[in-house]
Structure 1
Amino acid sequence: MIIDSHQHFWKYEAVKHSWIDEDMKVIRRDFLPEDLAKVYQQNNIDGCVAVQADQTLEETDFLLDLASKNNFIKGIVGWVDLRGNDIETVLKKYSKFDKLKGFRHVVQGEADHNFLLRPDFLRGISALEKHNFTYDILVFPHQLLAVLEFVKRFPNQKFVIDHIAKPYIKDGFFEGWAVLMQEIAKQENVFCKVSGIITEADYKTWTEAQFQKYLEVVFTAFGTDRILFGSDWPVCLVAGNYTQVKELVTNFISKYSKKEQANIMGLNAVKFYNL
């Protein structure tokens, strides 16, 4: 069973999706379940986790609606204002939805390097565990020091780092990212998504060889039981196609046992998100 642990849906709106810049204009259109179902059929994918792409409760409700109508959407990662004074009430309301597995905040877009450590945000995170909600960590490498301190504060909270923390592959930066990822991986409640990496390289000239040392770091650090395959569709389309993204991972993990490969490609996502 192959589960894509990270993809997005949207009805494109220029203002709402202003992060889709000129270089990414190929994805300035709607991407909905009927589009993805065809891609999954071609690539033998059994299901997915849909992740928020907009920071509103309407986005969470939009994904819940899609999940209720499309069985291959096995879980969703929504958004709530974790800094809000009403966080307990909001989480209680959303805990009624089986397919809502966790939440994410676009921390990479926050100017404060230590955003994760703000008291109001920490208060929101501390409320997740009670409702068995996961938290996806979306950051850039310069925010990893804060991530390390952050995950240590919540040893029982399930965390997953999106897109291997977006190392600057295009620029060849490596050492600082690698050291911190190895340190973070010592916290056994933290998982890692191998997703969104082709868009961290040069969109047009990337090669599979460029990613090897980055993949070696995360697979050695997190092990085959805490790594999740994800495509980051449709964002991945700015730098390649779905098959290329999948093969980048399947080629790398071909050296592992069949059981380990099955874990990486699907079973770890089932375990982490309780699908």
Structure 2
Amino acid sequence: MNNRIDSHQHFWKFDPIRDSWIDDSMQKIQRDFLPEDLLPLLQQNQFSGCVAVQASQSEEETHFLVDLASKNDFIKGIVGWVDLRDKNIKERLAHFSSEKAIKGFRHVVQGEADDFMFREDFRNGISSLKQFNYTYDILIFHRQLTAAVDLVKHFPYQPFVIDHIAKPDIKSDDIISWKKGIQEIAKYENVSCKISGMVTEAHWNNWKPSDLKPYLDVIFENFPSNKLMFGSDWPVLNVASDYSEVVETLEEYIAQLSTEDQNKIWFENAGSFYNL
């Protein structure tokens, strides 16, 4: 199976000021990560391509990813950034619509106030995405799931995907409120979920697959197999693991599923969600 798609990874030329979220506890990733660093890892793990997701909040970031995609055909799509709160949002989306590599947009909502997704200007931006066939990646902490449920309910025709299973606090084993939120949001037909970013929510230095299992169980109990996709969250995963280990952890967990369901999770769902 060499056609897997990594639905979630990042590239950057490390800038300590812009990338201040990469603090000294994350020294392993305080450097550049570019396509030539990722390609061998994709090849070793039977991936034919990836979706590059924004890591900083600027249109420059979106142009940077477009440029990388134009030079590396294994970058099958981009989730960029645009200021969804801009009153001229339709013009900005029209501007980007000529770039076929851009499949959708994301905002780092986990860094915003918990009521951010209720903002009228933000929702105005969300309401403009569908016209251009853009997806939206929901990046939140689990406590923001209530607001996310309200958002997806208000835009039933907008395709959404939850990044990093909505960042449950795996370290403290606090599953209950997160699980309620997942049960609720999974009811909406327009919502998919990325199985990504879990190892960095666990204990970085001593997590084991059994720590992730209860969270994976909740995801698989609530989302049908046609709504789930694998994402590595490379290079962020390097603070707690390595690329192959993250892939193997999911391989083992889904080994009991049918080949058809496994194919959906490894490549088909990412392909259809992002129109790759």
TM-score, scaled relative to structure 1: 0.99
Q: Distance in 2 between matches of 1:101 and 1:139?
A: 20
- In structure 1, the partner of 2:8 is 6
1:233 matched to which residue of 2? 234
After superposition, what is the alpha-carbon deviation per residue over 1:33-72, rounded to whole angstroms, capped at 9, x for unaligned? 0010111121111100000000000000000000000000
Write the distance in 2 (CA, Å) between the matches of 1:258 and 1:139.
Answer: 31
Q: Does 130-139 or 215-224 show the bigger shift?
A: 215-224
Alignment of 1:156-171 (within 5 A): 156-171=157-172
Counterpart residue number, 1:135:
136
Give, in angstroms, the shift of residue 258 of structure 1: 0.3
Q: 5+ residue gaps in structure 1? A: none
C-alpha displacement at 1:150, in angstroms? Answer: 0.7
Distance 1:84 1:64 in 2: 21
* Amino acid corresponding to residue 82 of structure 2 in structure 1: V
**Percent of aligned pairs with the same amino acid:** 54
**Mapping of residues 79-228 of structure 1, within 5 Å:** 79-110=81-112, 112-228=113-229
- Paired residue for 1:16? 18
Give the aligned residue type for 1:77. Answer: V
One-letter amino acid matched to 1:242: Y
Give the match for residue 262 of structure 1.
263
1:272 maps to which residue? 273
CA distance in 1, matches of 2:103, 2:272: 11
Inter-partner Cα distance in structure 2 for 1:227 and 1:71: 24
Greater shift in the superposed pair: 48-57 or 213-222: 213-222
Structure 1 residue 31: deviation in Å? 0.2
RMSD, aligned α-carbons: 0.6
Structure 1, residues 117-144: CA drift from partner, whole Å, max 9, x if none? Answer: 1000000000000000000000001111
| Equivalent position SS for 1:46 | strand
1:66 alignment partner in structure 2: 68
Give, in whole Å, the separation in 1 of the partners of 2:45 and 2:74: 14
Q: Which residue is 2:59 aligned to?
A: 57
Q: CA deviation at 1:223?
A: 1.3
* TM-score (norm: length of structure 2): 0.98
Whole-Å separation in 1 of the counterparts to 2:262 and 2:43: 20
Q: Which amino acid aligns with 1:97?
A: E
Counterpart residue number, 1:28: 30
Question: What is the CA–CA distance in structure 1 between the aligned matches of 2:56 and 2:114, rounded to whole Å?
Answer: 21
SS in 2 for 1:204: coil
Q: Which amino acid aligns with 2:168?
A: P
Query: 1 CA distance for matches of 2:149 and 2:22?
Result: 29
CA distance in 2, matches of 1:11, 1:106: 19
- Provide the C-alpha distance between the structure 2 equivalents of 1:8 and 1:261, rounded to a whole number of angstroms: 24
Is the partner of 2:47 in helix, strand or coil? coil
Residue in structure 1 matched with residue 40 of structure 2 by the alignment: 38
* Matches of 1:134 and 1:146, distance apart in 2: 18
Aligned length: 274
Corresponding residue of 2:80: 78
Distance 2:207 2:18 in 1: 29
Quick check: 1:249 aligned with 2:240?
A: no
- Deviation, 1:114, is 1.1
Q: Secondary structure at the match of 1:255?
A: coil
Q: Distance in 2 between matches of 1:41 and 1:96?
A: 30
Query: Any stretches of 5+ residues in structure 2 without a counterpart?
Result: none
User: Aligned to 2:36, what secondary structure does the other structure show?
Assistant: helix
One-letter code of the match for 2:95?
Answer: K
Distance 2:138 2:195 in 1: 13
